[in-house]
């Protein structure tokens, strides 16, 4: 593994929101932010896990730590979360879209979306849009979309985003969501030029996160006995994500994809801007940001 970059920049007075902050990469990133003085806003799905994580983080924090509960598989919950954030925080300096999901079988959300695509991409798209004006007003500010090398598995099909026509494959479903997130990041980077807002996507490294542990015992056993033995502690990812959230060196890299702290070119399927623009339009309709188009 390459030697990773670091920064001594502190975050006092900076309001930083982290989704999926109760475990894994989100927890370690939150720990880094809070320890460097940020006003940390943890977004978690479980009250119990969120409170446990908050207690641990507060012990090392050099700034305020808040906890907000939201189920990001529901677009109504994402909207409610956005309203709460806008009501409570006059400034939003950093938004880290970290919450993630991996399923070995197709599961449908309350909105009728394939769950992995809903959590890993649609929630990111919607929450970012709903907070974007506030983030612009708070510039210089930053959006970090935690992605994955898993985008190499592909699976994105604009004609079958919810996997109704194809047999669902866990790696393909995950790859589709992460490809979409990188496309969104790249397109948003183009659209935010001159605003003082930097947006990047990042693979957090090969680390032992809790993603996928919601699946059955066969997957969990394979994960524990085989996969986890090849992975690094999540603290490595937390340090890398802090660098991307805080370092001035990242400001000129808007729209780019990082492998931890190093720039990397995504797989070609994530680089097609015409597909990214179409995905953007479809996503606006799916999340209710614009009314669905109707045939003439």
Got the DSSP string for the chain? Answer: -PPPP------TT-EEEEESTTSHHHHHHHHHHHHTT-EEEEEES-HHHHHHHHHHHHTT-SS-EEEEE--TT-HHHHHHHHHHHHHH-S---EEEE------SS--B-TTSSBHHHIIIIIHHHHHHHHHHHHHHHT-SEEEEEE--GGGGG----TT-TT-SSS---HHHHHHHHHHHHHHHHHHHHHHTTTTTEEEEEEE--SB--STTTTS-HHHHHHIIIIIGGG-B-HHHHHHHHHHHHH-GGGGGGTT-EEETTEE-PPPGGG--HHHHHHHHHHHHHHTTSSPPP---
Q: Which residue has the tokens 């996507």?
A: 201
The neighbour count for residue 153, using CB atoms within 10 Å, is 20
Residue 104, pLDDT score: 87
Read off the tokens for 54.
Answer: 């908050």
Read off the tokens for 220.
Answer: 């969990």
Q: What number of CA atoms fall less than 13 Å from residue 151's CA on the CB side?
A: 29
Q: Which residue has the tokens 């990397």?
A: 264
- Sites in the chain below the pLDDT cut of 50: 207-208, 212, 218-223, 225-231, 295-296
Residue 152, pLDDT score: 83
Residue 53, pLDDT score: 97
Is-contact 284 292, C-beta < 8 A? no
Q: How many Å apart are CA 103 and CA 186, to the nearest integer?
A: 26
- Does domain 15-285 bear CATH number 3.40.50.720? yes
Residue 131, pLDDT score: 98
Residue 206, pLDDT score: 52
Tell me: the pLDDT tens digits for 200-235?
999 986 544 555 455 555 444 434 534 444 445 556
> Based on the number of CB atoms within 10 Å of its own CB, is 267 exposed (0-12), middle (13-18) or buried (19 or more)?
middle
Q: Which residue has the tokens 């939003």?
A: 92
Residue 114, pLDDT score: 97
Q: How many Å apart are CA 116 and CA 230, to the nearest integer?
A: 24
Verdict on whether the full-model pTM lies above 0.85: yes
Tell me: the pLDDT tens digits for 88-138?
999 999 999 999 998 989 999 999 999 999 999 999 999 999 999 999 999
Please say if 168 is a catalytic residue.
no
Is-contact 81 54, C-beta < 8 A? no
Catalytic, out of 89, 102, 121, 174 = 174
Residue 123, pLDDT score: 98
């Amino acid at each position: 593994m390459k030697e990773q970059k670091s920064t001594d920049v502190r975050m006092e007075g900076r309001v930083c929101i982290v989704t999926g902050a109760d475990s894994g990469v989100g927890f370690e990133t939150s720990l880094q932010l809070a320890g460097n003085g940020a006003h940390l806003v943890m977004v978690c799905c479980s009250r119990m896990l969120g409170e446990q994580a908050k207690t641990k983080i507060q012990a090392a924090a050099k700034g305020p730590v808040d906890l907000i509960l939201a189920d990001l598989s529901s677009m109504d919950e994402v909207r409610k979360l956005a309203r709460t954030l806008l009501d409570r925080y006059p400034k939003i300096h950093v938004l880290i879209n970290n919450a993630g999901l991996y399923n070995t079988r197709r599961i449908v959300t309350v909105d009728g979306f394939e769950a992995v695509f809903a959590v890993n991409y649609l929630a990111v798209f919607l929450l970012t849009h709903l907070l974007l004006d506030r983030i612009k007003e708070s510039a210089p500010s930053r959006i970090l979309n935690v992605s994955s090398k898993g985008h190499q598995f592909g699976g994105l099909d604009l004609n079958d985003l919810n996997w109704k026509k194809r047999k669902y494959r866990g790696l393909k479903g995950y790859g589709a969501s992460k490809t979409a997130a990188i496309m969104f990041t790249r397109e948003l980077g183009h659209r935010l030029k001159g605003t003082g807002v930097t947006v990047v996507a990042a693979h957090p490294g090969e680390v032992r996160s809790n993603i996928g542990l919601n699946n059955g015992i066969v997957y969990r056993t394979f994960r524990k006995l085989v996969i986890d033995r090849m992975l690094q502690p999540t603290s490595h990812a937390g340090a890398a994500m802090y660098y991307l959230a805080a370092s001035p060196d990242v400001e000129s890299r808007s729209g780019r994809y990082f492998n931890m702290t190093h720039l990397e070119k995504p797989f070609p399927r994530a680089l097609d801007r015409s597909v990214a623009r179409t995905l953007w339009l479809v996503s606006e309709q799916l999340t209710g940001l614009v009314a669905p188009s109707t045939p003439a």
